[in-house]
Structure 1
Amino acid sequence: YYGYARQDRKSRARDPITAKLVSNLIVEAGAQRVVAVDLHANQIQGFFDIPVDHLPGVPTIAEYLKRKQFGDQAVVVSPDVGGVTRARDLAAKLGAPLAIVDKRRPAPNQLEIMNVIGDVNGKHVIIVDDIIDTAGTICEAARAMVEKGAREVYCCCTHPVFSGPAIERLAAAPFKEIVVTNTIPLAQGKTLPNMTVLSIAPLVGEAILRIHEDLSVSKLFEV
Protein backbone atom coordinates (compact mmCIF):
# COMPACT_ATOMS: atom_id res chain seq x y z
CA TYR A 1 0.00 0.00 0.00
CA TYR A 2 1.36 3.40 -1.03
CA GLY A 3 0.46 5.94 1.63
CA TYR A 4 -0.91 9.37 0.66
CA ALA A 5 -1.62 8.07 -2.86
CA ARG A 6 -4.85 10.06 -3.03
CA GLN A 7 -2.92 13.32 -2.63
CA ASP A 8 -1.55 13.08 -6.16
CA ARG A 9 -2.73 16.51 -7.32
CA LYS A 10 -3.64 19.95 -6.03
CA SER A 11 -7.35 20.19 -5.33
CA ARG A 12 -6.93 23.85 -4.39
CA ALA A 13 -4.16 26.44 -4.23
CA ARG A 14 -1.27 25.72 -1.84
CA ASP A 15 -2.32 22.10 -1.26
CA PRO A 16 0.70 19.77 -1.04
CA ILE A 17 1.17 16.91 -3.50
CA THR A 18 2.12 14.51 -0.73
CA ALA A 19 2.30 11.46 -3.01
CA LYS A 20 5.28 13.12 -4.71
CA LEU A 21 6.92 13.81 -1.32
CA VAL A 22 6.60 10.13 -0.39
CA SER A 23 8.29 9.12 -3.64
CA ASN A 24 11.13 11.58 -2.95
CA LEU A 25 11.62 10.15 0.54
CA ILE A 26 11.77 6.58 -0.79
CA VAL A 27 14.37 7.53 -3.41
CA GLU A 28 16.45 9.58 -0.95
CA ALA A 29 16.41 6.64 1.48
CA GLY A 30 18.36 4.69 -1.14
CA ALA A 31 15.75 2.57 -2.92
CA GLN A 32 16.78 1.44 -6.40
CA ARG A 33 13.46 -0.06 -7.47
CA VAL A 34 9.87 0.04 -6.20
CA VAL A 35 7.23 -2.69 -6.24
CA ALA A 36 3.74 -1.38 -5.48
CA VAL A 37 0.27 -2.90 -5.59
CA ASP A 38 -2.74 -1.01 -6.99
CA LEU A 39 -1.54 2.58 -6.86
CA HIS A 40 -4.58 4.84 -6.57
CA ALA A 41 -3.47 6.66 -9.74
CA ASN A 42 -1.22 5.17 -12.41
CA GLN A 43 0.56 8.50 -12.91
CA ILE A 44 2.18 8.17 -9.46
CA GLN A 45 4.74 5.97 -11.20
CA GLY A 46 5.97 9.14 -12.93
CA PHE A 47 6.85 10.69 -9.56
CA PHE A 48 9.80 8.29 -9.27
CA ASP A 49 13.19 8.59 -10.96
CA ILE A 50 13.77 4.86 -10.44
CA PRO A 51 12.01 1.82 -11.97
CA VAL A 52 8.50 1.11 -10.62
CA ASP A 53 6.66 -2.21 -10.97
CA HIS A 54 2.95 -1.56 -10.55
CA LEU A 55 1.21 -4.84 -9.69
CA PRO A 56 -2.59 -5.15 -9.91
CA GLY A 57 -4.58 -6.73 -7.08
CA VAL A 58 -7.36 -7.88 -9.42
CA PRO A 59 -5.71 -11.21 -10.44
CA THR A 60 -5.45 -12.28 -6.78
CA ILE A 61 -9.11 -11.41 -6.16
CA ALA A 62 -10.22 -13.00 -9.45
CA GLU A 63 -8.43 -16.25 -8.65
CA TYR A 64 -10.35 -16.47 -5.36
CA LEU A 65 -13.73 -15.57 -6.87
CA LYS A 66 -13.38 -18.12 -9.67
CA ARG A 67 -13.61 -20.84 -7.03
CA LYS A 68 -17.12 -19.62 -6.19
CA GLN A 69 -18.30 -20.94 -9.57
CA PHE A 70 -20.92 -18.26 -10.16
CA GLY A 71 -21.22 -19.33 -13.78
CA ASP A 72 -23.08 -16.77 -15.85
CA GLN A 73 -24.95 -15.39 -12.83
CA ALA A 74 -22.27 -12.90 -11.71
CA VAL A 75 -21.97 -9.21 -12.53
CA VAL A 76 -19.05 -6.97 -11.57
CA VAL A 77 -19.90 -3.45 -10.40
CA SER A 78 -17.77 -0.32 -10.16
CA PRO A 79 -18.99 1.88 -7.27
CA ASP A 80 -18.03 5.01 -9.24
CA VAL A 81 -17.02 6.07 -12.72
CA GLY A 82 -13.35 6.36 -11.73
CA GLY A 83 -13.07 2.63 -11.00
CA VAL A 84 -14.50 1.37 -14.29
CA THR A 85 -11.15 0.19 -15.69
CA ARG A 86 -10.51 -1.98 -12.62
CA ALA A 87 -14.03 -3.41 -12.65
CA ARG A 88 -13.79 -4.10 -16.39
CA ASP A 89 -10.54 -6.00 -15.81
CA LEU A 90 -12.13 -8.17 -13.10
CA ALA A 91 -15.24 -8.72 -15.23
CA ALA A 92 -13.08 -9.90 -18.13
CA LYS A 93 -11.21 -12.35 -15.91
CA LEU A 94 -14.47 -13.77 -14.53
CA GLY A 95 -16.29 -13.74 -17.87
CA ALA A 96 -19.00 -11.57 -16.31
CA PRO A 97 -20.84 -8.44 -17.49
CA LEU A 98 -20.13 -5.00 -16.07
CA ALA A 99 -22.37 -2.53 -14.26
CA ILE A 100 -21.62 0.96 -12.96
CA VAL A 101 -23.01 3.05 -10.12
CA ASP A 102 -23.53 6.67 -11.16
CA LYS A 103 -23.82 8.84 -8.06
CA ARG A 104 -25.11 12.35 -8.51
CA ARG A 105 -26.82 15.11 -6.56
CA PRO A 106 -29.95 16.32 -8.42
CA ALA A 107 -29.81 19.78 -6.80
CA PRO A 108 -27.81 21.58 -4.11
CA ASN A 109 -28.56 20.44 -0.55
CA GLN A 110 -30.38 17.33 -1.77
CA LEU A 111 -29.39 13.73 -1.07
CA GLU A 112 -27.27 11.97 -3.66
CA ILE A 113 -29.10 9.51 -5.91
CA MET A 114 -27.42 6.28 -7.00
CA ASN A 115 -28.30 5.19 -10.52
CA VAL A 116 -27.30 1.64 -11.43
CA ILE A 117 -26.25 1.33 -15.08
CA GLY A 118 -26.53 -2.35 -15.97
CA ASP A 119 -28.66 -5.37 -15.04
CA VAL A 120 -28.08 -6.77 -11.52
CA ASN A 121 -31.49 -8.35 -10.93
CA GLY A 122 -31.13 -11.91 -9.60
CA LYS A 123 -27.33 -11.79 -9.95
CA HIS A 124 -24.35 -12.42 -7.70
CA VAL A 125 -23.06 -8.85 -7.56
CA ILE A 126 -19.34 -8.21 -7.02
CA ILE A 127 -18.49 -4.60 -6.13
CA VAL A 128 -14.77 -3.92 -6.56
CA ASP A 129 -12.61 -0.94 -5.57
CA ASP A 130 -8.94 -0.30 -4.87
CA ILE A 131 -9.37 1.31 -1.43
CA ILE A 132 -12.09 1.13 1.22
CA ASP A 133 -11.57 4.06 3.56
CA THR A 134 -14.70 5.06 5.48
CA ALA A 135 -16.81 2.60 3.42
CA GLY A 136 -19.61 5.10 2.86
CA THR A 137 -19.77 4.86 -0.93
CA ILE A 138 -19.40 1.09 -1.21
CA CYS A 139 -22.06 0.43 1.44
CA GLU A 140 -24.48 2.79 -0.29
CA ALA A 141 -23.74 0.98 -3.55
CA ALA A 142 -24.52 -2.37 -1.89
CA ARG A 143 -27.93 -1.15 -0.76
CA ALA A 144 -28.62 0.15 -4.25
CA MET A 145 -27.82 -3.33 -5.61
CA VAL A 146 -30.29 -4.97 -3.21
CA GLU A 147 -32.98 -2.46 -4.19
CA LYS A 148 -32.37 -3.43 -7.83
CA GLY A 149 -32.95 -7.11 -7.02
CA ALA A 150 -29.43 -8.50 -6.54
CA ARG A 151 -29.39 -12.09 -5.25
CA GLU A 152 -26.34 -11.44 -3.05
CA VAL A 153 -23.62 -8.79 -2.88
CA TYR A 154 -19.86 -9.29 -2.50
CA CYS A 155 -17.44 -6.49 -1.64
CA CYS A 156 -13.83 -6.66 -2.88
CA CYS A 157 -10.90 -4.30 -2.43
CA THR A 158 -7.11 -4.38 -2.45
CA HIS A 159 -6.37 -1.92 0.35
CA PRO A 160 -8.55 -2.15 3.52
CA VAL A 161 -7.78 1.24 5.10
CA PHE A 162 -10.95 1.02 7.23
CA SER A 163 -10.80 4.42 8.93
CA GLY A 164 -13.46 6.03 11.10
CA PRO A 165 -16.84 4.25 11.01
CA ALA A 166 -15.84 1.81 8.23
CA ILE A 167 -16.21 -1.43 10.22
CA GLU A 168 -19.59 -0.42 11.64
CA ARG A 169 -20.83 0.49 8.17
CA LEU A 170 -19.56 -2.74 6.61
CA ALA A 171 -21.16 -4.79 9.40
CA ALA A 172 -24.52 -3.11 8.77
CA ALA A 173 -24.31 -3.38 4.97
CA PRO A 174 -25.95 -6.29 3.09
CA PHE A 175 -22.69 -8.00 2.10
CA LYS A 176 -22.56 -11.78 1.73
CA GLU A 177 -18.76 -11.61 1.92
CA ILE A 178 -16.08 -8.91 2.13
CA VAL A 179 -12.87 -9.87 0.31
CA VAL A 180 -9.70 -7.84 0.94
CA THR A 181 -5.95 -8.38 0.68
CA ASN A 182 -3.27 -7.97 3.33
CA THR A 183 -1.46 -4.98 1.80
CA ILE A 184 -2.44 -3.30 5.07
CA PRO A 185 -2.30 -5.42 8.26
CA LEU A 186 -5.72 -5.36 9.92
CA ALA A 187 -5.65 -4.39 13.57
CA GLN A 188 -7.68 -6.25 16.17
CA GLY A 189 -11.30 -5.14 15.94
CA LYS A 190 -11.07 -4.33 12.23
CA THR A 191 -12.23 -7.71 10.96
CA LEU A 192 -15.70 -9.20 10.57
CA PRO A 193 -17.01 -12.80 10.51
CA ASN A 194 -17.87 -12.48 6.80
CA MET A 195 -14.46 -11.01 5.89
CA THR A 196 -11.84 -12.96 3.91
CA VAL A 197 -8.24 -11.71 3.80
CA LEU A 198 -6.21 -12.85 0.79
CA SER A 199 -2.42 -12.86 0.94
CA ILE A 200 -0.64 -10.67 -1.60
CA ALA A 201 2.69 -12.31 -0.67
CA PRO A 202 2.74 -14.82 -3.59
CA LEU A 203 2.21 -11.99 -6.09
CA VAL A 204 4.91 -9.75 -4.61
CA GLY A 205 7.28 -12.67 -4.08
CA GLU A 206 6.93 -13.82 -7.68
CA ALA A 207 7.47 -10.24 -8.89
CA ILE A 208 10.70 -9.95 -6.89
CA LEU A 209 11.91 -13.31 -8.24
CA ARG A 210 11.13 -12.29 -11.83
CA ILE A 211 12.89 -8.94 -11.39
CA HIS A 212 15.94 -10.68 -9.91
CA GLU A 213 16.09 -13.21 -12.75
CA ASP A 214 15.31 -10.59 -15.43
CA LEU A 215 12.05 -12.28 -16.47
CA SER A 216 8.76 -10.73 -17.61
CA VAL A 217 6.73 -9.25 -14.74
CA SER A 218 3.69 -8.70 -16.97
CA LYS A 219 2.97 -12.45 -16.84
CA LEU A 220 1.72 -11.86 -13.29
CA PHE A 221 -1.21 -9.86 -14.64
CA GLU A 222 -2.72 -12.95 -16.24
CA VAL A 223 -5.08 -15.36 -14.46
Structure 2
Amino acid sequence: MKNIVISGTNMVSEEIAKSLANSLSAELCKPIYKVFPDGESYVRLPCNVKDSKAIVVQSLINPQDKSIIEAILLGDAIKESGAKDQILITPYLAYSRQDKVFLEGEPISIRGILKIFSDYYNILATIEIHKEDSLKFFNKKAINIRPYTYMAEKIGFDSKNIAVLSPDIGAIDRAKILSSYLNCEYDYFIKARDRITGEITMQTKELDVKGKDIIVVDDIISTGGTILKATQILKNQGARNIYVMVSHALLLENAEEKLFSNGVNKIYAANTLPKKSKVDYIDVGPLIAKNLSAYLD
Protein backbone atom coordinates (compact mmCIF):
# COMPACT_ATOMS: atom_id res chain seq x y z
CA MET A 1 0.00 0.00 0.00
CA LYS A 2 1.46 3.35 -0.99
CA ASN A 3 1.86 6.33 1.32
CA ILE A 4 0.81 9.78 0.11
CA VAL A 5 1.62 12.93 2.08
CA ILE A 6 -0.85 15.76 1.46
CA SER A 7 0.37 19.20 2.42
CA GLY A 8 -1.94 21.58 4.20
CA THR A 9 -2.72 25.00 2.86
CA ASN A 10 -0.25 27.15 4.81
CA MET A 11 3.52 27.54 4.48
CA VAL A 12 4.31 25.79 7.77
CA SER A 13 2.33 22.73 6.70
CA GLU A 14 3.89 22.71 3.24
CA GLU A 15 7.43 22.77 4.69
CA ILE A 16 6.81 19.92 7.12
CA ALA A 17 4.87 17.89 4.54
CA LYS A 18 7.77 18.10 2.10
CA SER A 19 10.24 17.02 4.78
CA LEU A 20 7.96 14.19 5.91
CA ALA A 21 7.47 12.92 2.36
CA ASN A 22 11.24 12.93 1.80
CA SER A 23 11.80 11.05 5.06
CA LEU A 24 9.20 8.43 4.15
CA SER A 25 10.14 8.27 0.44
CA ALA A 26 6.43 8.94 -0.13
CA GLU A 27 4.52 10.77 -2.83
CA LEU A 28 3.83 14.44 -2.03
CA CYS A 29 0.48 15.89 -3.06
CA LYS A 30 -0.36 19.58 -2.90
CA PRO A 31 -4.12 20.20 -2.91
CA ILE A 32 -5.79 22.81 -5.07
CA TYR A 33 -7.04 25.51 -2.76
CA LYS A 34 -9.08 28.70 -3.15
CA VAL A 35 -11.44 30.94 -1.23
CA PHE A 36 -14.91 31.67 -2.59
CA PRO A 37 -16.08 35.33 -2.74
CA ASP A 38 -18.16 34.76 0.41
CA GLY A 39 -15.08 33.60 2.36
CA GLU A 40 -15.70 29.85 2.29
CA SER A 41 -12.73 27.54 1.70
CA TYR A 42 -12.44 25.11 -1.21
CA VAL A 43 -9.98 22.22 -1.56
CA ARG A 44 -9.53 19.50 -4.19
CA LEU A 45 -7.05 16.64 -4.38
CA PRO A 46 -5.19 16.47 -7.71
CA CYS A 47 -3.73 13.07 -6.77
CA ASN A 48 -5.23 9.58 -6.58
CA VAL A 49 -5.40 8.47 -2.94
CA LYS A 50 -7.65 5.43 -3.46
CA ASP A 51 -6.47 2.46 -1.33
CA SER A 52 -3.50 4.49 -0.03
CA LYS A 53 -2.43 5.61 3.41
CA ALA A 54 -3.23 9.32 3.05
CA ILE A 55 -1.31 11.55 5.46
CA VAL A 56 -2.61 15.13 5.78
CA VAL A 57 -0.19 17.63 7.33
CA GLN A 58 -2.00 20.70 8.63
CA SER A 59 -0.48 22.84 11.38
CA LEU A 60 -3.39 24.70 12.98
CA ILE A 61 -1.81 28.13 12.81
CA ASN A 62 -3.44 31.56 12.87
CA PRO A 63 -6.17 31.98 11.68
CA GLN A 64 -6.78 28.80 13.65
CA ASP A 65 -10.46 28.40 12.78
CA LYS A 66 -9.67 28.51 9.06
CA SER A 67 -6.86 25.98 9.50
CA ILE A 68 -9.24 23.64 11.35
CA ILE A 69 -11.92 23.88 8.65
CA GLU A 70 -9.33 23.09 5.97
CA ALA A 71 -8.15 20.03 7.94
CA ILE A 72 -11.77 18.84 8.10
CA LEU A 73 -12.30 19.39 4.37
CA LEU A 74 -9.09 17.55 3.49
CA GLY A 75 -10.16 14.69 5.76
CA ASP A 76 -13.52 14.50 4.02
CA ALA A 77 -11.81 14.59 0.61
CA ILE A 78 -9.42 11.71 1.31
CA LYS A 79 -12.20 9.65 2.86
CA GLU A 80 -14.52 10.33 -0.09
CA SER A 81 -11.70 9.46 -2.51
CA GLY A 82 -11.26 6.00 -1.00
CA ALA A 83 -8.10 6.29 1.09
CA LYS A 84 -7.53 3.10 3.08
CA ASP A 85 -6.13 5.00 6.09
CA GLN A 86 -6.73 8.65 6.92
CA ILE A 87 -3.93 10.14 9.02
CA LEU A 88 -3.79 13.73 10.31
CA ILE A 89 -0.55 15.38 11.41
CA THR A 90 -1.16 18.61 13.34
CA PRO A 91 2.35 19.82 14.29
CA TYR A 92 0.71 22.68 16.21
CA LEU A 93 -2.67 21.69 17.68
CA ALA A 94 -4.65 24.86 18.32
CA TYR A 95 -7.02 25.18 21.29
CA SER A 96 -5.06 22.57 23.28
CA ARG A 97 -4.68 24.96 26.24
CA GLN A 98 -8.48 25.13 26.57
CA ASP A 99 -8.55 21.63 28.04
CA LYS A 100 -10.94 22.15 30.95
CA VAL A 101 -13.71 24.43 32.17
CA PHE A 102 -12.13 27.40 33.92
CA LEU A 103 -15.36 29.42 34.30
CA GLU A 104 -18.92 28.10 34.34
CA GLY A 105 -20.46 28.05 30.88
CA GLU A 106 -17.22 27.48 28.97
CA PRO A 107 -16.64 24.63 26.50
CA ILE A 108 -13.73 22.21 26.61
CA SER A 109 -12.58 23.46 23.24
CA ILE A 110 -9.96 20.81 22.49
CA ARG A 111 -12.56 18.10 23.12
CA GLY A 112 -14.90 19.53 20.51
CA ILE A 113 -12.18 19.81 17.88
CA LEU A 114 -10.71 16.34 18.43
CA LYS A 115 -14.16 14.75 18.33
CA ILE A 116 -14.75 16.31 14.91
CA PHE A 117 -11.35 15.15 13.64
CA SER A 118 -12.12 11.59 14.76
CA ASP A 119 -14.98 11.52 12.22
CA TYR A 120 -12.52 11.96 9.35
CA TYR A 121 -9.21 10.45 10.50
CA ASN A 122 -8.26 7.17 12.16
CA ILE A 123 -4.80 8.28 13.31
CA LEU A 124 -3.76 11.69 14.66
CA ALA A 125 -0.23 12.80 15.55
CA THR A 126 0.88 16.10 17.03
CA ILE A 127 4.03 17.69 18.39
CA GLU A 128 3.82 18.06 22.19
CA ILE A 129 0.19 18.81 22.99
CA HIS A 130 -0.18 20.98 26.10
CA LYS A 131 -1.56 18.06 28.14
CA GLU A 132 -1.23 14.57 26.69
CA ASP A 133 -4.39 13.44 28.48
CA SER A 134 -6.43 15.64 26.11
CA LEU A 135 -5.77 13.17 23.29
CA LYS A 136 -8.36 10.86 24.87
CA PHE A 137 -10.97 13.04 23.15
CA PHE A 138 -9.74 11.71 19.80
CA ASN A 139 -11.34 8.31 20.16
CA LYS A 140 -8.96 6.52 17.79
CA LYS A 141 -5.16 6.19 17.68
CA ALA A 142 -3.43 9.41 18.86
CA ILE A 143 0.32 10.04 19.07
CA ASN A 144 1.95 12.80 21.12
CA ILE A 145 5.48 13.37 19.81
CA ARG A 146 7.88 14.85 22.36
CA PRO A 147 10.70 16.57 20.46
CA TYR A 148 13.18 17.61 23.15
CA THR A 149 15.76 14.83 22.88
CA TYR A 150 15.59 15.02 19.08
CA MET A 151 16.04 18.79 19.16
CA ALA A 152 18.97 18.58 21.58
CA GLU A 153 20.65 16.02 19.32
CA LYS A 154 20.28 18.31 16.30
CA ILE A 155 21.49 21.37 18.26
CA GLY A 156 24.49 19.58 19.74
CA PHE A 157 24.67 21.13 23.21
CA ASP A 158 27.94 20.91 25.09
CA SER A 159 26.79 18.97 28.16
CA LYS A 160 29.60 20.29 30.35
CA ASN A 161 28.49 22.74 33.04
CA ILE A 162 24.89 22.76 31.83
CA ALA A 163 21.54 22.37 33.61
CA VAL A 164 17.89 22.21 32.61
CA LEU A 165 15.03 24.14 34.19
CA SER A 166 11.28 24.05 33.69
CA PRO A 167 9.26 27.24 34.34
CA ASP A 168 7.07 25.43 36.90
CA ILE A 169 6.38 22.04 38.45
CA GLY A 170 3.80 21.30 35.75
CA ALA A 171 6.51 21.13 33.07
CA ILE A 172 9.02 19.16 35.15
CA ASP A 173 8.70 16.01 33.01
CA ARG A 174 10.07 17.92 30.01
CA ALA A 175 13.11 18.94 32.06
CA LYS A 176 13.59 15.34 33.18
CA ILE A 177 13.54 14.03 29.61
CA LEU A 178 16.06 16.59 28.40
CA SER A 179 18.37 16.35 31.42
CA SER A 180 18.43 12.55 31.11
CA TYR A 181 19.62 12.85 27.51
CA LEU A 182 22.23 15.50 28.39
CA ASN A 183 23.23 13.72 31.61
CA CYS A 184 22.96 16.90 33.66
CA GLU A 185 21.06 18.38 36.60
CA TYR A 186 17.49 19.64 36.35
CA ASP A 187 15.18 21.72 38.51
CA TYR A 188 12.03 23.85 38.31
CA PHE A 189 10.94 27.31 39.32
CA ILE A 190 8.66 27.88 42.30
CA LYS A 191 6.11 30.63 41.68
CA ALA A 192 4.51 32.71 44.42
CA ARG A 193 1.96 35.53 44.15
CA ASP A 194 1.85 38.41 46.63
CA ARG A 195 -1.75 38.49 47.90
CA ILE A 196 -1.71 42.28 48.29
CA THR A 197 0.18 43.51 45.20
CA GLY A 198 -0.51 40.53 42.93
CA GLU A 199 3.17 40.46 41.92
CA ILE A 200 4.53 37.05 40.91
CA THR A 201 7.95 36.01 42.18
CA MET A 202 9.94 33.00 41.02
CA GLN A 203 12.93 31.12 42.32
CA THR A 204 14.66 27.86 41.56
CA LYS A 205 13.76 25.12 44.02
CA GLU A 206 17.30 23.90 44.77
CA LEU A 207 19.68 24.32 41.85
CA ASP A 208 22.70 26.63 42.10
CA VAL A 209 22.89 28.17 38.61
CA LYS A 210 25.99 30.32 39.11
CA GLY A 211 28.41 29.92 36.21
CA LYS A 212 26.20 27.37 34.46
CA ASP A 213 24.60 27.35 31.02
CA ILE A 214 20.85 26.93 31.56
CA ILE A 215 18.28 25.47 29.18
CA VAL A 216 14.75 26.59 30.03
CA VAL A 217 12.40 24.05 28.44
CA ASP A 218 8.64 24.30 27.90
CA ASP A 219 5.95 23.35 25.39
CA ILE A 220 5.08 26.87 24.21
CA ILE A 221 6.11 30.52 24.43
CA SER A 222 3.18 32.86 23.98
CA THR A 223 3.79 36.37 25.34
CA GLY A 224 7.07 35.27 26.96
CA GLY A 225 6.28 36.77 30.38
CA THR A 226 7.18 33.69 32.41
CA ILE A 227 10.40 33.05 30.47
CA LEU A 228 11.35 36.72 30.81
CA LYS A 229 10.98 36.65 34.58
CA ALA A 230 12.89 33.37 34.76
CA THR A 231 15.71 34.83 32.66
CA GLN A 232 16.06 37.89 34.87
CA ILE A 233 16.27 35.69 37.98
CA LEU A 234 18.84 33.39 36.40
CA LYS A 235 20.99 36.35 35.34
CA ASN A 236 20.81 37.81 38.85
CA GLN A 237 21.92 34.45 40.23
CA GLY A 238 24.96 34.35 37.96
CA ALA A 239 23.92 32.02 35.15
CA ARG A 240 26.38 32.18 32.24
CA ASN A 241 24.22 31.55 29.15
CA ILE A 242 20.48 31.07 28.91
CA TYR A 243 18.94 28.96 26.16
CA VAL A 244 15.21 28.51 25.65
CA MET A 245 13.89 25.33 24.03
CA VAL A 246 10.21 25.01 23.14
CA SER A 247 8.03 22.97 20.84
CA HIS A 248 5.95 25.96 19.75
CA ALA A 249 7.24 29.53 19.49
CA LEU A 250 4.20 31.80 19.19
CA LEU A 251 6.15 34.82 20.50
CA LEU A 252 3.24 37.23 20.36
CA GLU A 253 3.57 41.01 20.27
CA ASN A 254 7.24 41.91 20.91
CA ALA A 255 8.11 38.84 23.00
CA GLU A 256 11.06 37.92 20.80
CA GLU A 257 12.74 41.30 21.27
CA LYS A 258 12.02 41.39 25.01
CA LEU A 259 13.62 38.01 25.60
CA PHE A 260 16.77 38.67 23.62
CA SER A 261 17.23 42.16 25.05
CA ASN A 262 16.93 40.81 28.60
CA GLY A 263 19.52 38.06 28.53
CA VAL A 264 18.30 35.10 26.47
CA ASN A 265 21.15 33.91 24.26
CA LYS A 266 19.24 31.53 21.98
CA ILE A 267 15.67 30.38 21.38
CA TYR A 268 15.28 26.95 19.80
CA ALA A 269 11.89 25.82 18.52
CA ALA A 270 10.35 23.11 16.39
CA ASN A 271 9.15 24.42 13.02
CA THR A 272 5.44 24.06 13.90
CA LEU A 273 4.53 27.76 13.59
CA PRO A 274 5.39 30.70 11.29
CA LYS A 275 9.04 31.61 11.69
CA LYS A 276 10.45 34.53 13.65
CA SER A 277 13.67 36.13 12.47
CA LYS A 278 15.86 35.43 15.52
CA VAL A 279 14.68 31.94 16.46
CA ASP A 280 16.67 28.80 15.56
CA TYR A 281 14.27 26.19 14.15
CA ILE A 282 14.55 22.42 14.12
CA ASP A 283 12.76 20.55 11.32
CA VAL A 284 10.50 17.90 12.87
CA GLY A 285 9.58 16.18 9.60
CA PRO A 286 12.06 13.30 10.14
CA LEU A 287 10.91 12.93 13.76
CA ILE A 288 7.27 12.64 12.67
CA ALA A 289 8.30 10.04 10.07
CA LYS A 290 10.05 7.99 12.74
CA ASN A 291 6.98 8.02 14.98
CA LEU A 292 4.65 7.10 12.09
CA SER A 293 6.76 4.27 10.72
CA ALA A 294 5.03 1.60 12.81
CA TYR A 295 1.69 2.48 11.19
CA LEU A 296 2.88 2.60 7.58
CA ASP A 297 3.88 -0.08 5.08
TM norm. shorter chain > 0.5: yes
Question: Aligned pair 1:208/2:292, yes or no?
Answer: yes
Over 6 Å off, 4+ runs: none
For 1:1-223, what aligned pairs fall within 5 Å after superposition? 1-28=92-119, 30-65=120-155, 67-71=156-160, 73-117=161-205, 118-186=207-275, 190-192=276-278, 195-213=279-297
* Identity score, percent: 26
Query: Matched residues in 1 for 2:112 and 2:253: separation?
Result: 25
Provide the alpha-carbon RMSD of the alignment. Answer: 1.4
Kept after mapping to 2: 8 A contact 1:125/1:150? yes
- SS of 1:155's partner is strand
Provide the residue aligned with 2:42 in structure 1.
Answer: none
Q: Do the aligned partners of residues 9 and 75 (structure 1) sit closer, same or farther apart at CA in structure 2, a change above 3 Å counting?
A: same
Gaps in structure 2 of 5+ consecutive residues: 1-91
Q: Which has the higher strand share?
A: 2
TM (norm. structure 2) is 0.66
Tell me which amino acid in the other structure corresponds to 2:172. V
- Structure with the greater alpha carbon radius of gyration: 2
- Of the structure 1 ranges 46-55 and 100-109, higher mean CA displacement relative to structure 2 is found in 100-109
TM-score (norm 1): 0.87
CA distance in 2, matches of 1:44, 1:69: 35
What is the number of equivalent residue pairs in this alignment? Answer: 205
CA distance in 2, matches of 1:112, 1:53: 35
C-alpha separation between the residues in 2 aligned to 1:2 and 1:106? Answer: 34
Query: Following the alignment from structure 2 to structure 1, what is the Cα–Cα distance between the partners of residues 196 and 99?
Result: 28
The amino acid across from 2:252 in the alignment is S
Question: C-alpha distance in 1, partners of 2:216/2:184?
Answer: 12
Whichever residue aligns with residue 96 of structure 1, its letter is C
Give the deviation of 1:45 after TM superposition.
1.4
Q: 1:110 Cα shift?
A: 4.0
